[in-house]
Amino acid sequence: MITFIDLFCGIGGFRLALEKRGLQCVFSSDIDPSAQEIYKHNFNEKPHGDIIEIPSKKIPKHDILCAGFPCQPFSISGKHGGVSDPRGRLFYEIQRIAEYHKTPILILENVKNILAIDGGKVIKTMENKLDKIGYDLFKHVLNASYFGIPQARERVYFVALRKDMKTKNKPSYEPPDENRKKIYLDDILEEKVDNDFIIKRKDIKITKKEDDIEYNLKPIRVGTVNKGGQGERIYSPKGHAITQSAFGGGVGARTGLYNTQQGIRRLTINECKMVMGFPVNHKVSAGLQGYRQLGNAVVPDMIGYVFDSIRAL
């Protein structure tokens, strides 16, 4: 059986994707206590804690190392600290474990902005480090909107393959083909939600009528609240959700605002699960913590498509 480890595991997006394909998780780790409890609820296994404190020899042998390593040091909404940020340096823990175990395959995910930080020096450092310990690195920006997920979520997916992997054919990876599945917010929105999600303000401005809008695989902006800043833009359910985020300001923070039959509103936690591609019965923490967990998560379907496109095992 093909085995994998789940680093910075969060609420388990990698694990959902790979267990669905018959792979076995042999180790998981996350420093966040709330994420650990949620992961335990979903997978009957409490992740180990801070990966920095776990010796490589204590981690089981595995075929695939999965890591959606912390994105805040690289994100546009963060401070752009890159690998100078302590969280950004967690990439070196991935390097450490891969070098010790000579892990055949690494599957990593991060925000698109990691490619541009410090004039490209951050990504060049990653490439050089992985090359030095024996890996070919492939990286591609993929947008979940074009893979059957009703959310505009651009992420960089990294696949690193060991150069000395013993297989009949040379290991290779090509990014998955877009399926352009016609799924929209309309398809997943709940018909009736609690009034707490509905925004009733005098400064709401709708600039496009829903009858004049055609369905599209992207967010369709139709209005604003207040000055129309981040978290103050309104979108049509005939398009896709904006990128779900762990943080952010404005009345529509984390989920965005949408012009639904019930009125202008934010997304519920179950709707956020669906626009991230998680099952509705997948447990997350209550309140804002649950929204943060989903905003920090990987899209399971995207990990599945990436795995399916590796020709190595």
Are residues 189 and 283 both part of a single domain?
A: yes
pLDDT at 81 over 70: no
pLDDT at 247 over 70: yes
Q: What's the structural domain count of the chain? A: 2
Average pLDDT over residues 228-247: 95
DSSP string, 94-130: HHHHHHHHT-SEEEEEEEGGGGTGGGGHHHHHHHHHH
Written as one letter, the residue type at 159 is V
Are residues 31 and 142 both part of a single domain?
A: yes
Please give the pLDDT value at position 166: 76
Average pLDDT over residues 213-225: 98
Higher pLDDT, 164 or 59: 59
- The residues that bridge with 259 in the sheet, in sequence order, are 264
Are residues 24 and 70 both part of a single domain?
A: yes
pLDDT (tens digit, 9 = 90+) per residue, 153-210?
A: 999 999 999 999 877 677 899 999 999 999 999 999 999 999 999 999 999 999 999 9
pTM of the model: 0.93
Average pLDDT over residues 27-41: 97
pLDDT (tens digit, 9 = 90+) per residue, 95-107?
A: 999 999 999 999 9
Are residues 97 and 147 both part of a single domain?
A: yes
Please state whether 212 falls in left (phi above 0), alpha (psi between -120 and 50) or beta.
alpha
Q: Residue 117: which pLDDT band, with cuts at 50, 70 and 90?
A: confident
Residue 222 is part of a domain; what is its CATH number? Answer: 3.90.120.10
Task: Report yes or no: 263 and 281 within 8 Å, Cβ to Cβ.
Answer: no
Are residues 145 and 264 both part of a single domain?
A: no
Give catalytic status of residue 71 as yes or no: yes
CA–CA distance, 31 with 229 (Å, rounded to integer)? 33
pLDDT at 87 over 70: no
Average pLDDT over residues 2-6: 98
pLDDT at 86 over 50: no
Q: Which of 271, 222, 285, 310 is nearest to 38 (CA)?
A: 285
Are residues 34 and 165 both part of a single domain?
A: yes
Domain hosting 252: range is 185-287
Are residues 48 and 146 both part of a single domain?
A: yes
CA–CA distance, 163 with 172 (Å, rounded to integer)? 10
Q: What is the mean pLDDT of the chain?
A: 93
Please give the pLDDT value at position 84: 53
* DSSP E strand stretches across 201-276: 204-206, 221-225, 233-235, 257-260, 263-265
Are residues 163 and 82 both part of a single domain?
A: yes
Average pLDDT over residues 234-248: 95
Q: Residue 147: which pLDDT band, with cuts at 50, 70 and 90?
A: very high
Strands, sheet with 154-162, edge to edge from the N-terminal-most edge strand: 24-29, 3-7, 64-67, 105-111, 154-162, 135-143
Q: Residue 280: which pLDDT band, with cuts at 50, 70 and 90?
A: very high
Are residues 55 and 86 both part of a single domain?
A: yes
Are residues 36 and 163 both part of a single domain?
A: yes
Average pLDDT over residues 205-231: 96
Please give the pLDDT value at position 268: 98
Number of H helices, E strands in the chain: 7, 13
Are residues 275 and 141 both part of a single domain?
A: no
Q: Residue 76: which pLDDT band, with cuts at 50, 70 and 90?
A: very low
- Among 25, 66, 71, 272, the active-site one is 71
Average pLDDT over residues 8-30: 98
Are residues 123 and 148 both part of a single domain?
A: yes
Beta-sheet pairing, 172-173 with 154-162 = unpaired
